[in-house]
Amino acid sequence: MTRRFSALAFALLAATGGAAASELVPGNGHSIQLGSFSGAVYYTVEQDGYRVVATLASGAEQQPVRVVSTLAPGQRMMISVPQAVGQPSIDSEILRDGKALLVSAPNFVPATAAENDMTLDSAEPVKTSATAP
């Protein structure tokens, strides 16, 4: 079932031009870039779930922001950076898919969709490696 879902999600991403996702390994950091914000995401396996830590800053001299969340299987969290009025936000989703933790690349809504006040759902992240804790 999971392979069928992953294959379907991959096909949808390829067809829509959506971004793929990276699978994290416990304790190893993953770099993220959301507009002018850059940072890292990592997680540890805890008794009550995966403790996900994301730290972002808009520059080396700027105060960083840290977001911490514990995810159970099937749960997700979104990191979103707002843009100018009328512009779509830059979003990255972190999804716990069973024993895997996936971080999606930033999603951008095409300007034509924003101008027409349309909403586009981001595609589900795709598992890109077979490594799982």
Contact 83, 89 (CB under 8 A): yes
Q: Is residue 87 part of a domain?
A: yes
Select the more confidently predicted residue: 19 or 37: 37
Q: Is residue 60 part of a domain?
A: yes
Q: Is residue 131 part of a domain?
A: no
- Does residue 5 carry a pLDDT above 80? no
Give the per-residue pLDDT at 106.
86
Contact 56, 39 (CB under 8 A): yes
Q: Is residue 82 part of a domain?
A: yes
Average pLDDT value over all residues in the chain:
76
pLDDT-derived band of residue 6, with 50, 70 and 90 as boundaries?
Answer: very low
Give the per-residue pLDDT at 20.
74
CA distance 126 to 50: 19
Q: Is residue 39 part of a domain?
A: yes
- Does residue 128 carry a pLDDT above 70? no
Q: Is residue 126 part of a domain?
A: no
Question: How many structural domains are present in the chain?
Answer: 1
20: three-class secondary structure by DSSP: coil
Q: Is residue 67 part of a domain?
A: yes
pLDDT digits (tens, 9 = 90+) for 21-78: 889 999 999 999 998 999 999 999 999 999 999 999 999 899 999 999 999 999 999 9
Q: Is residue 123 part of a domain?
A: no
Task: List the domain range (segments joined by +) for residue 50.
Answer: 2-115
**In sequence order, which residues have a C-beta less than 8 Å from that of residue 116 and are 6 or more positions away?**
none
Q: Of 91, 105, 96, whose CA–CA distance to 44 is shortest?
A: 96
